[in-house]
Amino acid sequence: MLKQAVGFGVFYTVRTLDRLLPVEALRWILLPWAGARALLPTNSLRWTRDWPRCLGPDRRNRFRSWSQSLRHHLDRVPAFLPDRLGLPRWRERFEITGLGPLESARAAGRPVVLAFCHFGPIVLISHCLRAQGIPAIPLVAGVARNRPYIHRLKDRHLPFPEIPGALYTDQLREVASLGARAVLLVAVDVRAGRTVDVPLTDGWQFRLATGAIRMAAQKRAVLIPCTQLSLGSWRFRIELGRPVPEASLGPVPDVSRAAAHLVSELFPALQAHPDHCGREVFGSLLQNPPSPADPDSPTASDVRSKPTVDAIPGTRPLVSFETRSHQKP
């Protein structure tokens, strides 16, 4: 009960201050609170594995960890204002790139699934899209009756109130009833259900959950990779990548090629902004165990010379089609 009372007070205090102050003034007032909160452990940012070298050099230090946590808490504040993010003073702070395929699919009456990683302020993706007139709903692990109280408060102020604030894994039957009414957001860096390993560079691989691929194939939906970047000072950018080719999402989906396409679109952002990565991303990056030397086995250069996904212009190829599937018991 105390936790709910505190959450209620914080939620409506932020909303009242937003009504009275300019956006930048609101941010400065909340900065000391976020700085103090950043001194406490943040579960979504904690991880214990060694630094994955595929993300580049390890630049972690105590100040970077604190500043990452500070940004994490500040960037969640706009989610308290889902009904106001469409106002000009907030809307100018959100940029969306690559909207063309999503808008074309919706105009044609086709469902859309956005595949994302726990990277950046993902809590804002659905709110930003709703503010742009695109109803969006995330698929969340757990059961609906356990939805946190603070999220239930936010749900009272959502645009498109007929679309729930989230769907939980015990509500999967409702996904079919959504049709093309709402864009479905599905994480691909979770350890749930079926997964497939997509090789990266230097002996690393990305373990990708295939739920988004299978849902898109079943719904005959357009599957689009999505990343959310925090640009600082409460300015954000959602980047929508190239849709997964239709040929990979037929009645019998080519999961390996679809997964390789998603990783080729999502991984460059992870490399460019490793400080945006949540613990789920780090848990999905795995290093291949070293194999014993064998003069008859192909060399590393031979393996990397096999067909790869087209890299983003100006970069080297990132992933190959040599995927391995995993099914959890």
Q: Specify if 60 maps to a domain.
A: yes
Chain segment 243-281, per-residue pLDDT in tens: 999 999 988 889 999 999 999 999 999 999 988 888 889
Q: Do the domain assignments include residue 295?
A: no
**Counted domains in the chain:** 1
Three-state secondary structure call for residue 274: helix
**Residue 298 covered by a domain:** no
**pLDDT per position as a tens digit, 9-65:** 889 999 999 999 999 999 999 999 888 888 877 665 565 567 888 888 877 665 567
| Token duo for residue 82 | 């889902």
Residue 162 belongs to a domain: yes
pTM, two decimals, is 0.84
- Judged on CB neighbours under 10 Å (0-12, 13-18, 19+), 217 is buried
Per-residue pLDDT, averaged over 188-192, amounts to 84
Q: Is 120 exposed, middle or buried (0-12, 13-18, 19+ CB in 10 A)?
A: buried
What is the bridge-based pairing of β-strands 204-209 and 194-199? antiparallel
Cα–Cα distance between 209 and 262 in angstroms, integer? 11
> What is the spatial distance between Cα 76 and Cα 217, in angstroms, rounded to a whole number?
32
In a domain, 297, yes or no: no
At 43 the pLDDT is 64
In a domain, 255, yes or no: yes
Query: Strand 112-116 vs strand 222-230: parallel, antiparallel, or unpaired?
Result: parallel
Classify residue 223: in a domain, yes or no.
Answer: yes
Inside any domain, residue 104: yes
Residue recorded with tokens 């005959």 = 220
Instruction: Tell me which residue range forms the domain holding 214.
Output: 2-289+303-327
Rounded distance between C-alpha atoms, residue 157 and residue 329, angstroms: 40
